[in-house]
Structure 1
């Protein structure tokens, strides 16, 4: 009889240990890129004032890509070495903070 009670206690203890398992929390990150209204243009389409501003404000950088929106603003991707930066300007070459 003692063995039966001991067996039942061990069995119930084992079942409660299984019921107390920890739960996993899964975190999913989703990146959403919003369209900002800029369309890519050739580097020749960038006004000289904008190119001059980039050369003066960011010496040693190279203009890699240019984008333009309906407000005649430019989104410029410039690079120096392995670092890349994004700069916003208007058609006159004034830097816009965004």
Structure 2
């Protein structure tokens, strides 16, 4: 009986030696979206070349909002029915990205 108790004690002692505390490591990431600052401008302030490009490239659309940044680039929100699009142009009316 003594051998059985002694064997059980040795088994439990060896199991507890391998037990290690669980350390949870969490990483926090910060996502930064760098974007030029655009300020809203009136539709009348948008150059004629930009308006002409929008009319030719996107027929049947309506200019909803216009924004301008320090580089003299325009962010235009246009709509066609229920669909809305954002178009970027420079002051000359060249489309930067759609």
Q: Calculate the TM-score normalised by the size of structure 2.
A: 0.64
Q: Report the counterpart of residue 20 of structure 2 in structure 1.
A: 19
Asked if 1:65 is matched to 2:65, the reply is yes
Which structure 1 residue ranges, 5 or more long, are not aligned? none
Equivalent-residue separation in structure 1 for 2:10 and 2:88 (angstroms): 74
Q: How many residues align?
A: 95
Which structure 2 residue ranges, 5 or more long, are not aligned? none
Equivalent-residue separation in structure 2 for 1:94 and 1:46 (angstroms): 13
Highest CA radius of gyration, 1 or 2?
2
Equivalent-residue separation in structure 1 for 2:13 and 2:62 (angstroms): 72
Change (3 A) 1:38 1:15: same
CA RMSD of aligned residues (A): 3.0
Q: Calculate the TM-score normalised by the size of structure 1.
A: 0.64
- Runs of 4+ more than 4 Å apart: none
Change (3 A) 1:56 1:9: same
